[in-house]
Structure 1
Amino acid sequence: MSDSGLSATPSAAPEQPGSASAPAGAYRVLARKYRPNSFDDLIGQEAVVRTVSNAFDTGRIPQAWILTGVRGVGKTTTARILARALNYELPDGSVKGPTIHMPVHGVHCKAIMESRHMDVLEMDAASHTGVDDVRQINDSVRYAPASARYKVYIIDEVHMLSTAAFNAFLKTLEEPPEHAKFVFATTEIRKVPVTVLSRCQRFDLRRVEADVLMNHLSNIAQKEGVEVEPEALGIIARAAEGSVRDSLSLFDQAIAHAAGLVRADAVRQMLGLADRTRVIELFDALARGDIAAAFAEFRDQYDTGADPVVVLSDLAEFVNFVTRVKIVPAIADNVAFGESERVRGREFATKLSMRVLSRMWQMLLKGIAEVQGATRPAAAAEMVLVRIAYAADLPTPDEALRMLEHSGGGDAPAISGGGGSGGRGGASAALTSAPALSAPST
């Protein structure tokens, strides 16, 4: 395989971020259309940008980088931007060395970002895993670049290389020629040998916060001329789980699904999510011990097409949100969450104890696994709700023993989870006189 064989298949020319135009008859998905071209365009990776900026400004440029992070946070894009910065030149020759300040496209920029520059070689390690592929890199790295300042090797999913291939890389990676640089990208950093990691400068690309993704999507919506509800952007940002590419793909799908104004209800329907307000109502019924109301709410959601596993997962997510708000109240100010979610979350965080929330969380985690393996998921989910409503706020065994001690040695109080028809008669378990102690079953 020649140098040209290492390069990925050339893609169509990427448009500048903010450009709403596309070639006639060739629609470009948003994830490619708004792909960053410079460090200024990267979102949510300020620490990486600051470190690289200082390294370039002081001339402390390493021979190899390794970029790690979850899907869609910009590993391959950052690698191409690094290659562009290393080889940035202007036609008038005013730029004499590597720089991250690239206000306009230089001589090599377009070809590098299109993955077709002969001195910037990309290899997908998932399909080139053997020692022969690395041997060809070792053979070609000795030769000077044809036109650029540096010869840059970008290896994506580097953790897929075989052990022999990694070992073949070690000598070249430790003492490469001055004109060669390596940029590795991986989602599985633990699978990369420590001998390789010790020869690279590591950058961990973090998940992008939901509010940052919302602002990014809002800017793209303005450039695309798309009307979208803020709540819909929040749903997409949370569903993307910190991945910029996932958020853009979901937004692309939402625009096509809506065929007009992108509404929150349409996005929920597209993603198969329950209405957050209804999830909150279900949570409220369980916290009050009103099993009849919880059954009615769950059945209503189930009859409208909600998956029982999704309902319990959404409920667990809200429990987690309330718990976080109880610990750090400022979390409720995040605009990525809906207004009703923020207001009700504060109320529940004030009323419910950490013991109640943690036990609800544990029961939901166990219940979700049970529902996933049940032959009748809806019935299994209802039994999980019964368990939560009756036992989530019962005293723990050690608390019950302390109640015995405070009783003065009289008749042992028994913990009763029973209530009236359809409920437990309140948020706290009733204590009645009985000769035996019945510990709550979780």
Structure 2
Amino acid sequence: MAVIITQECIGCGACEAVCPFGAISLQADKAVIGDACTQCGACVDTCPAGAIRREAEDQAAAMDKSQYQDVWVYLEVAAGSLKNVGLELLGEGRKLADAMGQKLAGVLLGNNIEALAQEAFAHGADQVYLVAAPELARYNTDGYTAAFTDLIHTYKPSVVLLGATNDGRDLGPRIACRLGTGLTADCTGLGIDEATGLVAWTRPAFGGNIMATILCPEHRPQMGTVRPSVFKRPVPDYAKSGEIIKVASKVKAADIRTKFLDLVQVCTVSCNLEEAEIIVSGGRGLGKPENFCYVEELAAVLGGAVGASRAVVDSGWKPPMHQVGQTGKTVGPKIYFACGISGAIQHLAGMSSSDIIIAINKDPDAPIFRMADYGIVGDAVEVLPILTEEFRKIKAS
């Protein structure tokens, strides 16, 4: 909320007139700001007496940024192991920490998870902050937000990286809001700005038409969520060790407003795109939704996941959880089959980090062939059954 310096306010009403949210009123010839304020700054720029300033500006001025050190990575746990995105971010976090001359730490929240710390050390962490409690056994918004926020208040990291997963996208903004800092969402690139030494967060903007680089100069920690599979997982060194910092949880069962009832599995391994080593994706070149069965059959034979282009999802052929691309999921499997996909730049941005790309398209000039390691010029509907049968024979033998 913006703040009125009452003794400096001249009651001119300029701020009331310019506020787009109707958050300002005049009372006893003085401006008063209500709860509808969004800190847009329109009143700050308009006030002729300079009697208004953003509350965040006061907080920034009071913050001693020199107290904030080290790079933290949130290590998301699923089915008793660390998700790949956390390990990928340890690799990138290692580069940031080395460039800044600081330590790299992993953050583990859960219950009975101490054994996972060694995996974090093997992937580059110097330290692991461990908060274990029965209330944190499963991810929940209230408990994890409170525990993570308390950790940051106590140990003051300079940078916090989270995966842009369902949980990371829920947790990151809530922490940032409680801390009064910014968060750059869905990043596809990280670096250090040479002029300021700040983390440079790169993400698509304006529907993917430009790549924006964002800095957070006034607040700490600098926070961002990063898409899975954007970066490669570092090669682990299991001889490496580090320091485990155990922190007692202050979360109580009464603090958690939700209760876990049951886990309903709505998606099989075929749509677990972020973790898949083989992905078979289909596009509009398949002709009709019924032909997607050829993609699914090949994926089943190879033990891979099923992907789809945005055009396919927009047409209702496949649900959004299968979409690969800039506005879908970013993937980096060992093998990526692009079947009937022309290769729009938004799709390429989501799968370009794949180790091997195999394209099937009847248009020899399709852009996908310029990125593919192997290409088959032909109708995907005719080629896919042949490939599937050959792979079946190879696996049988």
Greater strand share, structure number: 2
* TM-score, normalised by the number of residues in structure 1: 0.27
* TM-score, normalised by the number of residues in structure 2: 0.29
Greater helix share, structure number: 1
Please identify the structure whose Cα radius of gyration is greater: 1
